[in-house]
Each structure stands twice: as structure tokens, then as C-alpha cells.
Amino acid sequence: MRLTRVPIPQTPPADDLPTVVLEYDGNRWAATHAREITIGRERTCDITLPSDTWLSRLTASVRVLDDCVLVYNRSASKPISLRPPVGEDLVIRPGGAATPLPVLTFDIVANLVDGGIVAVHVDASALGFTWRVREMVMSLAGGATSTMPITLRPAESKALTELCRPLLSGSGPNLRSASYEEVGTRLKRSPAYIRNVITGVRLRLQACGLPGLDTSEDLARWLINHRVIAEGDL
């Protein structure tokens, strides 16, 4: 048997790697593989936040990996959030770290003592969405697509799409699925009709052995997490 030598791809020099751009208060900073950006109210931080007692001296830091950006919560006691343009916040507990895959533009959000927020915008679009990231996301999600154990009628598909609409089109910490009244208004149907349609789907899925579908909110999140309903359906 003849063996063929296959060249091993080399990591490009740091100067050739993509740059992640952070924006705050009209200024920009560049995070690279060689430079981790720190955020906090301490004057030694790269990005200095207001002198608010609720903010940690070192709040967060941003590190660039090969094909994603990793955000660390450097606070010992306060959570921070990653807020995408669309979808729910990803909360990072003190001492934790997270990457907002597959989102490439987002805000790092920290709370202020008066109930307000401070946000640092992150643009990691230069990293792209490579095959490696896709593989990671699909692995975490359990596959590229999920097969519904039941067949949906057209009226059911329309109602479920509207149920999921706020979760797929909104952003922020208080996202929820649409109410029966909201779905009914969009589809020009009564709330009682919508309730019967959505409840019927939920009960049929429960009968197939799917756990945790006790409310329409549970159903909406299951449909989105398993990509039965996606942004392209809106």
C-alpha cells in the first residue's frame, strides 16, 4: 500500500488573523489573538466604564480564538449578559465564560446601581462562521435538523410560527412567546381557537413521550431549540 504525505495546515501568523472590534462611548478597540481586551471601572482597564458602585473594577475581558470570541466574566459577584441583535440574553455568572455562537455581533451588558445598563458592542464578523464553528454548534444542538414526531396541519404551522415570533424577532432579557390573543390578532382568529390549536399540538407531542412541554412557552422554546420553527419561517 502506498502512503501519500498530506501537508498539515499551519496556523497563520497573529498579524494575519482576523480582528474583533469593540465599541464603547464612541471609541473602538481591536482584540486579536495576541491582545485580550479588559473591561471595567478600574482605570487600568482597556475599556473604562463609569465609576458606578455596582460595576466591578474588572468586569469582563474579551479573548479571540481561532474562529470565535470568548467573553469572560471577571467579576467575583455580579453577572453580565451577552445580548444579540435578536434573541434572548446569554447570562454569564461570576467567574464564568461563554461564546455567543453562532452570533457574531452582540453587546456585553452590565447593570448599573440605578437599574440602568452599560453596553460594550462587539463585532466579530471578521471571524466568519467557519465549518468548525458549524460543526460545534450542530453537535451542541444535537444535529442539523430535528424531525417532528407528528405531522402539522397548515393551520397549526401558522399558529406555532406566530407563537414563536417574539422569541425569534426580539431581543433583551424579558423575551417571551406570543400570547393567544397576540397570535389570534395576527391570524384573525379568536384567542380560544388559537388556544385549542396550540394546546392540541402540545398534548400530541406529550403523547409521543416528549417531556417538559407543560405550557405554550415550553412548546415555543422546544420548537425553536429543535429548529422546527426558525427565523426563515417568519
Domain holding 179, by residue range, is 154-233
- Three-state DSSP at 210 gives coil
Segment 63-111, tens digit of pLDDT: 988 777 889 999 999 999 998 887 778 889 999 988 877 778 899 999 9
pLDDT above 70 covers what percent of the chain? 82
Q: Distance between CA atoms of 176 and 198, rounded to whole angstroms? A: 16
CB 120 within 8 A of CB 100: no
Same domain for 120 and 163?
no
Cα 230 to Cα 234: distance, rounded to the nearest angstrom: 7
pLDDT reported for residue 184: 95
The radius of gyration computed from the CA coordinates of the chain, to the nearest angstrom, equals 22
| 53 and 122 belong to one structural domain | yes
Q: Give the pTM.
A: 0.60
Count how many domains the chain has.
2
Calculate mean pLDDT across residues 208-229: 85
Residue 137, class by beta-carbon neighbours within 10 Å (0-12 exposed, 13-18 middle, 19+ buried)?
Answer: middle
Residue whose C-alpha is closest to residue 130's, from 90, 100, 105, 102: 102
pLDDT digits (tens, 9 = 90+) for 113-153: 988 999 999 998 887 654 344 444 444 444 434 456 788 88
| Residue after which a domain boundary falls, among 137, 171, 197 | 137
Judge if 19 and 57 occupy the same domain.
Answer: yes
